[in-house]
Amino acid sequence: MKDTQNSPTDTNADAENTEYLTKSRAKTDPKHGCPPDKRDIRTHIKNGLIILDKPKGPTSHQVAAWVRDIFSLKKAGHSGTLDPGVTGVLPTLLENATKIIPALVHGKKEYICLMQLHTDIPQKQIKETAKSFIGKIQQMPPVKSAVKRQLRTREIYTLNILEIDKRDVLFKSEVEAGTYIRTLCTDFGKKLKTQAHMQELRRTMAGSLPEEQSHTLQDIKDAYEFYKEEKNEKILRDIIKPLETGVMHLQKIIIKDSAISAICHGAPLRICGIAKYTKDIKTNDIIAIMSLKGELVTLAESTMNTTEIQKKDKGIAAKITRVIMPQNTYPRTW
């Protein structure tokens, strides 16, 4: 049975258009839990995600620490490290929202890069070479990287040349997480039988989080100061998204209220606890387990695909990998 809706809760301002299949009809008890957009402001902040426009200069860790200090929080984190000289989308997670970092790390990334060639190359040859990089490629991480230097397979989904000005090549590319654009530029030069280097780089998308919704450190500071002085939450809520925004790119299973407490205590998700699910779940996917109110309950690894969930009446559909919701949010029914 199909059920097309904006999200588990139609009140979520950041909801994506998602098609859900219904496993069993279920209602949610308004006495427990809370739709993400109805959280009080302090709870909202502590469960918030900011699409931060990282400036050139500081490290990603420094930027996250500044955000933490602005809100006087115990912790803040970031997903997908950007080098000091790189700008753009840096998902920044506040307090409890740091638990979803593993879900964001694996999302696709989009970049705009200015590459400089070391010799003159005909434009037609540059454009043809760009096409040859689309698909699976082999990469060796650069010397200064946080991972072991060994050959890795990564996928380039798109690589579009935007402009060529003599030896300067501006391109836009959507890539698998963990792809090094600096290395991509070096390898691009080798294919052209010359040398090339990354001149400038900006990340324009991380997972489903776009540059258009990003905010600078000054925006964040000003919004929080305005809130403290005027007690007006609107601007702050526009900047700080519910942590659920960070899992929009994942496949989802919506569970019944009666299953939430057991799941939060680490029990696997059984078929009998499922209310709805998205149509493209594959086995071993990282998925989001959601409440009927649209709250993120846990991250999990699927042990069944969509077809199996649809056909089976018993069995374990997912194993919990990270509990996000506090354990006492919904009452025990077991």
**In this predicted model, what pLDDT tens digit does every residue of 283-314 receive, in sequence order?**
999 999 999 999 999 999 999 999 999 999 99
Burial class (CB in 10 A: 0-12, 13-18, 19+), 177: middle
Q: Is the pLDDT of residue 273 over 90?
A: yes
| Residue 44 CB contacts under 8 Å (≥ 6 apart), including other chains | 237, 240, 242
Amino acid at 8: P
The reply to whether 2-38+250-323 and 109-206 are identical in fold is no
Residue 36 in 3-state DSSP? Answer: helix
Q: Is the pLDDT of residue 15 over 60?
A: no
Percent of the chain with pLDDT over 90: 86
Q: Given the residues 37, 83, 187, 285, select the one marked as catalytic.
A: 83
76 φ, ψ to 5°?
-150, 150
Could you tell me the maximum CA-CA distance found in the chain, to the nearest angstrom?
A: 71
Q: Is the pLDDT of residue 149 over 70?
A: no
Kindly list the domain boundaries of the chain, sorted by start residue.
2-38+250-323, 41-105+209-243, 109-206
| Residue 143 CB contacts under 8 Å (≥ 6 apart), including other chains | 149
Greater confidence, 145 or 170? 170
- Domain spanning 41-105+209-243, CATH class: alpha beta
For residues 78 and 316, give the distance between their C-alpha atoms in angstroms, rounded to a whole number: 32
Specify the pLDDT at position 190: 96
Residue 128 in 3-state DSSP? Answer: helix
Q: Where are the alpha helices (DSSP H) in the chain?
A: 41-46, 60-70, 101-105, 123-132, 181-191, 217-230, 234-239, 257-264, 306-311
Question: In the beta sheet, which residues pair with residue 175?
Answer: 109, 156
Q: Is the pLDDT of residue 189 over 80?
A: yes
Single out the residue of 130, 178, 174 nearest to residue 152, CA to CA. 178
- Homologous superfamily of 2-38+250-323: PUA domain (2.30.130.10)
pTM of the predicted structure, to 2 decimals:
0.87
For residues 255 and 288, give the distance between their C-alpha atoms in angstroms, rounded to a whole number: 10
Q: Is the pLDDT of residue 38 over 80?
A: yes
HSE-up of residue 309 (Cα within 13 Å, Cβ side): 32
The yes or no reply on domain 109-206 and CATH 3.30.70.3190 is yes
Going by pLDDT thresholds of 50, 70 and 90, the confidence category of residue 18 is: confident
Amino acid at 188: F
Catalytic status, residue 83: yes
Average pLDDT of the chain to the nearest whole number = 92
Tokens of 259: 């299953």
For residues 5 and 290, give the distance between their C-alpha atoms in angstroms, rounded to a whole number: 14
**Distances, alpha carbon 143 to alpha carbons 80, 146, 182, 198, in Å:** 18, 9, 11, 15
Report pLDDT digits (tens) over 44-62: 999 999 999 999 999 999 9
Specify the pLDDT at position 3: 52
**How are beta strands 286-290 and 251-255 bridged, if at all?**
parallel
